[in-house]
Structure 1
């Protein structure tokens, strides 16, 4: 991997490391100024992701490499970086860690960000250099107290900018928040560089203040009453068998399962049921998890984007928290389980807005009263969310699978399933029992499975993702 080094501290345009025929790196200072300076506690969503970041010893960074096909130059990319820094308080926020370890966020009114300019030798591949930089940045933890939470670079080749590389600390934004940022960037006034809507969304400091007040605490209380009902109604254990006696190392593992067949089959099922694709994947997860764990009802925590709440639709900072639900699988069909999990997860989403400190107190209290902690370490996150597919899409999806009738569609799906890929990633620092993260792309669906292999074995991790694919294909074969 290419070594790109730490972000620069100086405010000049400097020539950076250059070894042999490798890329030459310069640093361009980008001034910014914006409203909303101040200091305050983290929001509930920020507290949630901060705890995950600490547990996993990672910034949970979100990175992207975007090819430039519109002729943008470095000046235009610097203007975009200045827009992000000025528009969004979370992008010009650094932390101050209190003596007891509690983070306090401090928003700057003005400052300078750094735009890396990476000059690629004529005989090198700029796409490969951009990908290497992105991987390097995502693997390098942010300096929360000394670094802005947004890293950006322009990759140039033969005198022209070819790619832009961006990396964000998860404490500053989540996936839906990035969507807000990109939408507002595209809508801005190109002459002035200002946002089309002068009114900014509620800032993290403003939201944290509301959450600590009477209205926020009432909302938290309602959510935690739902959590308590679930915690008291389900068995303590999430898995019938004992922990993995082999105690393998590395303990915490991750793998990505990529399948074109799963994408097509899940869309066929979604169209037939008149529901969203991520609802199908969640239902299949619950269905397979019941068999692997041997415990019912299945208890799942789902990651909920709270932007559906009043006043939060255009916020870029993290708003996701976990909702919790329990669902019986029994001998129900996948279609029945999908409907059960859909209803239960909607209820869980309503109550996924709470004070994390009060939630910890609740978990400890219930554990003390029940004689042990309730196992809630099975999680689900749909990074690719869609609305219900139109029923007319059913015929189109079957045609996409085979070009003919349903029977041939199933045969083609089984052929495509043979081309699925399971790729193991680097070990994790820490994790709960198991989590599935769903992504849907133009040509395939992807399931990221992360697990504590002392609780869920490597074999069970594979059984889980392959089982989700198989049960969805079987639903197509049985015509639901």
Structure 2
């Protein structure tokens, strides 16, 4: 296979050195814990006739326009991590030309896999890797991988949207360094203080852990369950139309109710929600990690389905409102509460609804199906339970990662059954 490297020069504004902003701090901690760059991106087939020079121009556009792409990390002797934005530099577009016997799609996937496996060199490598696969001078696939310290999925969406605009105009959103400076201002200190009052009030009131004591439940210890239900999608759409409720509130109410049914008496459902913070107008177009943990506490004991959904709305909105804060303040709060209670708080249940807003429709002609797509072992899992709602149409699809010492697989299956039962029964869609 022939590999060519095209050097792309770039320059842009905003050079400087400063601390990581709040979202970057949370992502960096997760990267360190997982020993991974948590890279985002992958392979996209090219079917519109674009050539190598077009992708070199795209790489130059990204590197020049977004300070996050021109950023490298600096590691101080005291252990602090800073970031440096450069005003100019050179990036490399890799061009892979497969042999006649090689499949271009397989070559592209292999390149993406190799890039995912290799951590970024945070101090000496730009956080964006880009390459193309071509045959007979025709580009068949583009491969793009981005280090998570540079952006989140929302930031990548901003980049793709602006790339497609004929004239995106000057980029005016705050850079990662700008955001770090803004977060040190008094208004942001007040935001952190308000968030910590919310967190403290709830953390003092909830039990130390939602899950029970660990037990040896055999192998695999870490497992991923992929589950989907078109029946639940139809029921959720019907409830949404009848109550004027966001489907996200319905699903959250269902999960909390499922826990209450399977583990009665354990107290409210407590989870960390992954909040993008892009609902804040000033942050909509920022290209940097903005996601932070939001604390969701939802007590549905004795509630009717309609009451549970109304409470889920309040819990969801509160979690989002108070998910923008200085991570150091949260760490201090956690240490203080652990010392006072004598029992460490267990906030290792994560909940992430990744669905994009779309109209809720009810198609009674669709079959009502529920199935487990896969149960597969994982090599490692940081939280004890992570529930991800995938962004797919016409079905509710969950990816549930679980430490089976704390939640055996039979209990996971029962929780999923109760989640669906709550929604279908409440909707009346049989």
Q: Deviations over 1:344-366 (max 9, x none)?
A: 11012111111111101101111
Of residues 362, 379, 401, the one that matches 1:427 is 379
Aligned length: 429
Q: Is 2:275–2:292's contact at 8 Å kept on the other side of the alignment? A: yes
**Map of 2:174 onto structure 1:** 202
Query: Is the contact between residue 268 and residue 398 of structure 1 (CA under 8 Å) also seen in structure 2?
Result: no
Q: Is the 8 A contact 1:175 1:383 kept in 2?
A: no
Deviations 1:260-283 (A, max 9, x none): 444444334333332333333222
Indicate yes or no: 2:254 matched with 1:276: no
Counterparts of 1:258 and 1:134, CA distance in 2: 27
Say if 1:139 and 1:269 are closer, same or farther in 2 by CA, change over 3 A. farther
User: What TM-score results when the alignment is normalised by the length of structure 2?
Assistant: 0.92
Tell me, what secondary structure is at the counterpart of 1:202?
A: coil
**Whole-angstrom distance in 2 between the partners of 1:107 and 1:345:** 35
Residue in structure 2 matched with residue 71 of structure 1 by the alignment: 49
Compared with structure 1, are the counterparts of its residues 381 and 113 closer, same or farther at alpha carbon in structure 2 (3 Å cutoff)?
same
After TM superposition, the structure 1 stretch with the greater mean CA deviation from structure 2, 274-283 or 139-148, is: 274-283
What is the rounded CA distance, in whole Å, between the counterparts of 1:259 and 1:318 in structure 2?
Answer: 31
Shift of 1:466: 4.9
User: How big is the alpha-carbon RMSD for the aligned residues of Structure 1 and Structure 2?
Assistant: 2.3
1:398 is matched with which residue: 353, 363, 368? 363
Gaps of 5+ in 1: 1-17, 19-23, 190-195, 402-411
2:329 aligned residue: 358
Matches within 5 A, 1:53-132: 53-132=31-110
- Rounded Cα–Cα distance in structure 2 between residues aligned with 1:457 and 1:383: 25
User: Secondary structure of 1:376's partner?
Assistant: coil
CA shift for structure 1 position 425: 5.7
Contact 1:323 1:352 in 2 (8 A): yes
Deviations 1:115-164 (A, max 9, x none): 12121233433223222322332233222112111111112134311111
Q: Give 1:303 shift.
A: 1.2
Q: 1:140 to 1:266 in 2, by over 3 A?
A: farther
Deviations 1:368-425 (A, max 9, x none): 22221233222211222316x46xx3xxx13352xxxxxxxxxx31xx224x412426
Distance 1:373 1:237 in 2: 9
In structure 2, relative to structure 1, the CA distance for the partners of 1:441 and 1:197 (3 Å cut) is: same
Match of 1:175 in 2: 153
- CA distance, structure 2, for counterparts of residue 298 and residue 458 of structure 1: 19
Corresponding residue number in structure 2 for 1:329: 300
Q: Indicate whether 1:38 and 2:16 are aligned.
A: yes
Q: Quote the Cα distance in structure 1 between the aligned partners of 2:171 and 2:17.
A: 21
After superposition, the Cα gap between the structure-2 partners of 1:339 and 1:139, relative to the gap in structure 1 and judged at 3 Å, is farther
2-structure distance, mates of 1:48, 1:293:
31
Change (3 A) 1:354 1:457: same
Structure-1 residue corresponding to 2:397 = 446
Q: Distance in 2 between matches of 1:60 and 1:461?
A: 26
| Alignment correspondent of 1:311 | 282
Residues 39 and 147 in structure 2, CA contact (< 8 A), matched pair in contact too:
yes
In 1: Cα distance, 2:299 partner to 2:200 partner: 18
Equivalence for 1:8: none
Q: Check 1:42–1:156 CA distance in 2 against 1; reply closer, same or farther (3 A cut).
A: same
Change (3 A) 1:336 1:361: same
1:450 to partner: Cα distance? 2.1
Q: Taking structure 1 as reference, are residues 67 and 210 closer, same or farther at Cα in structure 2, changes over 3 Å only?
A: same
Query: Matches of 1:31 and 1:314 in 2, distance apart?
Result: 25
Structure 2 spans left out of the alignment, 5+ residues: none
Q: CA deviation at 1:113?
A: 1.2
Distance 1:323 1:212, change over 3 A: same
Whether the 8 Å CA contact 2:176–2:287 is kept in 1: the answer is no
Give secondary structure in 2 for the equivalent of 1:455.
coil
When normalised by structure 1's length, the TM-score is 0.83
Cα 1:142–1:471 shift into 2, 3 Å: farther
* Residue in 2 that maps onto 1:225: 197
Deviates more, 1:220-229 or 1:134-143: 134-143
User: Which residue number in structure 2 is paired with residue 11 of structure 1?
Assistant: none
* Contact 1:431–1:451 under 8 Å retained in 2: no
